Structure 1
Amino acid sequence: MKKQATSMRKASLLALSIVSMIGVGAGSVFAQDGPAKQVFGNIALPSAGAPASYGSYAKGCQSGAVALPTEGQGFQAMRLSRNRYWGQPQLISFIERFAKDAQKIGWPGLLIGDISQPRGGPMLTGHASHQIGLDADIWWRPMPNQIMSAEQRESTPFISMLDKSKFLTVDDKKWSPLNAKLVVMAASYPQVERIFVNPAIKQKLCQTWTGDRTNLGKIRPIYGHDEHFHVRLECPPGAPNCKPQAAVAAGDGCDKSLAWWFTKEPWEAPKKDPNAKPPKPPRPMMVSDLPRACAAIAAAPSAGGRSMAVQDAYVPAAAPQSVPQSSSGSGVPTPPADVPRPSSRPSLN
């Protein structure tokens, strides 16, 4: 344990030295580049300055982030040690409003998982997105009546909505019409651009939802997401540095793009050539790969005038498993164009 803490402390100091060597002027050249996840994953506080999102959901950063309170009316923040409860003000306001609205339909309260790091950017573990302060994970597990301790927020397990004995099937002992009502309500807010759920949950909604289906198309199927659903807000109006996604296709999404997830293609193991040379390790995303403003944000003073702080107590979770690459088989439905295809399958995306 002591050895692990020492290694993390060294990684934090390395990240700080990398940041200090990056040019911060608008036209400056990077004196020395470094892995973006090491830089942004070890910054403990948000930058000073106006709130703004830079780049795309999976390749960007944020300035002027604010923290979600550890608890509020109808919600509690989870896994506080990860320091991923920072977002743009409009996202924090959305969570607070959604939590109150959810109680009106009978949901006991929201458990909020990862949002973003203090300055966004790639994370040391887990997500490929959540980089610009506009994404939030909401657990399927309802909030308990009492305020949980910090220890309970770390140790309380997730609840999967899937029947683990059957392929891509929702467990009806866990899933209820109230779960469906909650996620469809989340999709109804105009600022919500997409919601990611497990393909089995999307299929369950397609088969059973009898209410207004206007916003059902916003709810998109993706790997994982059986223990939480992922809410993504649109780029705010008048935010020139935030890169939006293409609009969600018309319809409820209960079509061939959903059927594709129930074929072998998304899940089959990649075919290996026994004569091929071992592939080179994938190149990590560097700070210089992000929008240029992100280098300045990483090196900027912290909000409140404090100097940039670095976490040295963060202990990363287990490394995510790799995702099998899909084949180009013919005669099967094609995946929807907006499906994020990470190079590794996050355990919590």
Structure 2
Amino acid sequence: MIRALFAALILCAAPAAAEPLARQLFGAHATPSRQAPAAIGSYAKGCGAGLVALPETGPTWQAMRLSRNRNWGQPELVQFLQDLSGVARQIGWKGLYIGDMSQPRGGPMTGGHASHQIGLDADIWMLPPDRLNLSRKQRENISSVSVRTNDQTRVTRNWTRQHHALLKAAASDRRVDRIFVAAAVKIAMCNAATRADKAWLQKIRPLYGHNTHFHVRLKCPAGSSGCIPQTPTVAELSKNGSGCDETLNWWVTTYLEELRNPPKRAKRKGPVPRNAKTYLLSDLPSQCKNVLASR
């Protein structure tokens, strides 16, 4: 209630020339909107109506970093995470540690993450749980583990067959659009898979910053007409594309070299494009105003 009142005061007090940042408005809400569930906009530019909370603790999962209040998502995401945590139990883990999902009303976050805005993204820790009865304080202090080397080309001993099995199960789920991992993980999974069993690997995408968790992104739910789906990749459009050849060649030879020796960028002309940190409410889909206004 206090956060919602704060958001309302921001809107009322700020003149048009000083429109508040969208991340401030959405970050001020501690509860979801009282609306039917709907994913609105794109994964990195939108909001979520009627989001529901993943229970903080379940038989096969625990939500981490509870102080962030980011264990919210579309009902489809919450169900998927509960299902996948059951799969984790089947492969030999005690369950899953779930990191950031979305804020109660989605939208740009107060800190970190360009996406996670419409309730269809979730970070899952690479750390196999030792126990599922961690206190709130313990969940703030415990950290996940990195599964890649510092040069970003190889997995460490923290990477196991169970990790491979878990990611394969997630990627094979029809609800999943794609999964972001460290490039070393994609390379290791490509090398371990057989030629006849690689099609599911097209959903596994290398992305910098995913060495301690993997990021699952679900497809737009049925009925969410305002949800903007991802653009298919070349691998998706090909009959049996896995992305393995492209990943192995491009990541090792091109991207890592650019990280080590960044190319000089030409001076940008015109205004700097806005992003999740600088979006205003007017930059988001118009329905997001109703999401914020709902009580």
Q: Superposition pairs for residues 146-161 of structure 1, below 5 Å?
A: 146-161=132-147
**Inter-CA distance 21–199: structure 2 relative to 1 (3 Å threshold):** same
- Distance (whole Å) between structure 2 residues aligned to residue 203 and residue 69 of structure 1: 34
Is 1:217 aligned to 2:211, yes or no? no
1:290 paired with 2:284, answer yes
Q: How far is 1:169 from its partner?
A: 1.8
User: SS of the residue aligned with 1:94?
Assistant: helix
In the superposition, the TM-score normalised over structure 1's length comes to 0.74
Against the structure 1 CA distance between its residues 293 and 278, is the aligned structure 2 distance closer, same or farther, given a 3 Å change threshold? closer
Deviation string 1:49-82 (CA, Å, 9 cap, x unpaired) is 1111100000000111100001112111000000
Task: From 126, 136, 148, give the equivalent of 2:112.
Answer: 126
Q: Look up the match of 2:10.
A: 18
Instruction: Say yes or no: does 1:268 pair with 2:261.
Output: yes
Aligned Cα root-mean-square deviation (Å): 2.6
Query: Cα gap change, 1:257/1:59 in structure 2, threshold over 3 Å: closer, same or farther?
Result: same
- For residue 199 of structure 1, what is the amino acid of its counterpart? A
**Partners of 2:58 and 2:152 in 1: how far apart?**
37
Name the amino acid aligned to 1:17: L
Determine the structure 2 residue equivalent to 1:255. 245
Report the counterpart of residue 182 of structure 2 in structure 1: 198
Aligned to 1:55: 41
8 Å CA contact 1:21–1:31 kept in 2: the answer is: no
Percent of matched pairs sharing the same residue: 48
Kindly indicate whether the alpha-carbon contact (under 8 Å) linking 1:19 and 1:298 is maintained by their aligned counterparts in 2.
Answer: no
The number of aligned residues is 281
Kindly report which structure 2 residues correspond to 1:65-214, keeping only aligned pairs within 5 A, or say none.
65-164=51-150, 166-171=151-156, 173-210=157-194, 212-214=197-199
How far off is 1:158 after superposition?
Answer: 1.7
CA separation of 1:238/1:279 partners in 2, compared to 1, >3 Å: closer, same or farther? Answer: closer
Q: Which amino acid aligns with 2:125?
A: W
User: What is the CA distance between 1:259 and its match in structure 2?
Assistant: 2.2
- Report the CA distance between 1:255 and its aligned residue: 1.8
Contact 1:180 1:209 in 2 (8 A): no
Alpha-carbon distance in structure 2 between the residues aligned to 1:183 and 1:129: 20
Specify every segment of 5 or more residues in structure 2 that has no aligned partner in the other structure, as ranges: none
Deviation at 1:163, TM superposition (A): 2.1
Give how far 1:103 is off. 1.0
Structure 1 residues 291 and 272: CA distance shift in structure 2, 3 A = closer
SS in structure 1 opposite 2:33? coil
Q: Tell me the SS of whatever aligns to 1:255.
A: helix
Inter-partner Cα distance in structure 2 for 1:91 and 1:82: 18
Contact 2:35 2:294 in 1 (8 A): no
2:286 partner letter: R
CA distance in 2, matches of 1:220, 1:272: 26
Q: Which residue type is aligned with residue 49 of structure 2?
A: S
Q: 1:47, 1:63 within 8 Å by CA — same for their partners in 2? A: yes
Pick aligned residue for 1:44 from 9, 30, 33: 30
Secondary structure, counterpart of 1:60 in structure 2: strand
Mean CA deviation greater in 42-51 or 12-21? 12-21
Q: Deviations over 1:165-205 (max 9, x none)?
A: x443211x211111111111111110101000011110111
Determine the structure 1 residue equivalent to 2:229. Answer: 244
**Shift in Å, 1:270:** 4.5
Distance 2:80 2:265 in 1: 46
Deviation (angstroms), 1:108: 2.1
Deviations for 1:125-152, whole angstroms, at most 9, x for unmatched residues?
1100000000000000011224000011
Q: Which amino acid aligns with 1:43?
A: H
AA in 2 matched with 1:241: G
| One-letter identity of the residue aligned with 1:236 | P
> Hey, what's the Cα distance between the residues in 1 that align with 2:11 and 2:68?
20
- Residue identity matched to 2:60: G
Amino acid at match of 1:138: I
Please identify, of 127-136 and 203-212, the stretch whose mean Cα deviation from structure 2 is larger: 203-212
2:231 match: secondary structure: coil
Instruction: Flag structure 1 segments of 5+ consecutive residues without an equivalent.
Output: 1-8, 23-29, 302-349
- Could you tell me whether the CA contact under 8 Å between 2:177 and 2:218 is conserved in 1? yes
What is the TM-score normalised by the length of structure 2?
0.87
C-alpha spacing 1:120/1:268, structure 2 compared with 1 (3 Å): farther
Q: Could you say if the C-alpha distance between residues 261 and 272 of structure 1 is closer, same or farther in structure 2, counting changes exceeding 3 Å? A: same
